Amino acid sequence: MKTEMPLSKPIRRFLSQTEEMLGTEISLLRQPDADPGGTLVDVYTYDIEKNVNVIIFPAQYVGLLKDFIIAKQCTNLLIKGAASKKGKYQVLSYTEDSVYRGMRQIYLDALKDEAKKENRLPVQKLIQMLFILFTHFNDDLNEVPWNAIVNASVYHRMPKIRKTQLYHVMKESKNDMDEMMEQETIIPRRYFVLNKAMFYARDMFLAKTLPADELMPVLNIPQMKKFNHLEVKEMLTTRWTHTAWYQSKVFGDTMLEIVDRHLDRAEWNAEPTLDHYFELYQLGVNLTNHLVSYMTMKDWFVWEEPRRLIAAHKEKEEYEKVALKKIFGDLLGDS
Amino acid sequence: MALQEAVELLKKGRAYAQRTKFREAFAYYNKALSLDPKNPEGWYLRASALIETGNNEEALADCDKALALNQNYAEAWSKKGLALFNLERFEEAVLASTRATSLNANDAMAWYIKGVCLDELGKSDEAQEAYGKSLELEIILDMDAERKKIQRLG
């Protein structure tokens, strides 16, 4: 562990255990403009010469806010590392063909929506939206199921930072809820709802997992006062019922059932061995597959080694071009 | 004149330290301290850089120099607490952090160091109280930063 910064005792212990279990090193890095949820640059995803993983977090997080990010990213690392050590670590990626299938489906759905609209979307904007939306779902599917698993795991393993966890969960939920809001009128309704439903299911699962009595802050924060005497579930549900997209809840409830069905099998308090983290990895893969299937996106994505996803990101402009050519043929100019 | 020059040198040193260019930062701090050794801020800033580079014993000595010049220098007490924590002198670190928080109750880092050290000393309940205070301050700062960011983005 390479750090000069103070860390609380359970976090120091967890960092050492993670390093020991995976036979790797973890370095901590403060950055002023880091993602509020922290970033993990790990040896299982990226080609890093030295066997050093880096956890990056906002420089202004000096205390427990930083500790929670470290706990969360260590858990992420353990899940990835456990799967990698068994030669099974894969992520949801895409190929030239799968991009075409996904974009074509989005296009067909968009056409249906556009036909009902008074103010139709300019064709150029519609074309641009196809691939953006496709990759958006790829990103979210590589994030949301794991976020639920990691949060549940940290909750059970790190009781001392639960209040901090509540703050992070609430903040993340708010940010995720705001995602895509600006594109509300552009995106086909089905995808807007599915995207929101996925986050709804994650939030509701966490609301059940993180019991309010333990989490309710004894903090005296004016901004949090309005949440006093409310349960976490109420806090999160209240928000969802206030969104313009209440129908997300209908889809979200089904997704929540899927999440529950998979994650109820997890033994969160099992001995923290590599096998345990590999089981969490498998749960995540199965859960993702089920969500993908529910959203009828099965032929949009493929499970591949992380380096293939990185390579796909590099090729994405080409993939998009080929898909557009297949969808629109000669109707599309070279521009 | 020399005093004004020392202040300018400290500013430059601080700018380098913020970019983690500590070699340059030390050069400016050392020069500033040779011109004006009676400015506690100079000792405090050099102590901060020394901690960042893992030189906790020297940092502790600089904190003490700053505090000899100004006993009520909250930030110096806070840094002293951090240096003592890094040196695993937990009881002294609790005393320094407590002094820091009594001078500036809004120092999230001092509350956190106090919590960590109390935890190390097996005083779990007191530690939770200090952690709670630290978290409260961090959340308020974070919410303010978020609000400013939203305002900036229009």
Residue-wise pLDDT tens for chain A (335 aa)? 656 688 998 999 999 999 999 999 999 999 888 998 999 999 999 988 788 999 999 988 999 999 999 999 999 999 999 999 999 999 999 999 999 999 999 999 999 888 877 778 788 888 999 999 999 999 999 999 999 999 999 999 998 888 889 888 888 887 777 777 677 778 888 898 898 889 889 988 988 888 655 544 434 444 444 444 445 566 566 655 555 456 677 888 899 999 999 999 999 999 999 999 999 999 999 999 999 999 999 999 999 999 999 999 999 999 999 999 999 887 666 54
Q: Domain locations in chain A?
A: 9-85, 94-331
Q: Could you give the angle at which helices A232-241 and A247-263 cross, rounded to 10 degrees?
A: 140
Determine how many CB atoms are found less than 10 A away from the CB of residue A73: 26
Check which CATH number belongs to the domain holding B92 and give it.
1.25.40.10
- % pLDDT > 70, chain A: 85
Between B54, B109, B146, which is nearest A4 by CB?
Answer: B54
Q: What's the structural domain count of chain B?
A: 1
- Which of B139, B146, B150, B152 should one mutate to test binding to chain A, selecting the residue with the greatest count of A CBs within 10 A? B139
Question: A157-182: per-residue pLDDT in tens?
Answer: 998 888 889 888 888 887 777 777 67
Distance of residue A4 Cα from the nearest chain B Cα, in angstroms = 6
Q: How many CB pairs under 8 A join A and B?
A: 70
- Looking at residue A2, its pLDDT comes to 59
- Please indicate, yes or no, if residue B16 is contained in any of the structural domains: no
DSSP A215-260: HS-----GGGGGGTT--HHHHHHHHHHTSS-THHHHHHHHHHHHHH
First to last CA, chain A: 50
- Please indicate, yes or no, if residue B3 is contained in any of the structural domains: no
Residue of B nearest to A2 (CA): B54
Q: List the one residue out of A243, A259, A239 whose CA is nearest residue A198.
A: A259
- Which of A3, A7, A8, A69 should one mutate to test binding to chain B, selecting the residue with the greatest count of B CBs within 10 A? A8
Between A6, A160, A224, which is nearest B85 by CB?
Answer: A6
Residue A57 burial by CB count (10 A; 0-12/13-18/19+): exposed, middle or buried? buried
**Residues spanned by the domain of B111:** 38-152
Give the mean pLDDT of chain B: 94
d(CA B133, CA B97): 13
Residue B70 corresponds to which tokens in the numbers above?
A: 């100004």
- Are B66 and B96 spatial neighbours (Cβ–Cβ below 8 Å)? no
Per-position b or e across A136-173, b if 16+ CB within 10 A of its CB: bbbebbbebbbbbbbbbbbbbbbebbbbbbbbbbbbbb
d(CA B17, CA B25): 5
In single-letter form, the type of residue at position B131 comes to Y
Question: A216-264: per-residue pLDDT in tens?
Answer: 443 444 444 444 444 556 656 665 555 545 667 788 889 999 999 999 9
**A31 has which bridge partners?**
A58
In this prediction, the answer to ipTM > 0.90 reads no
Query: pTM here?
Result: 0.88
pLDDT of B129 above 80: yes
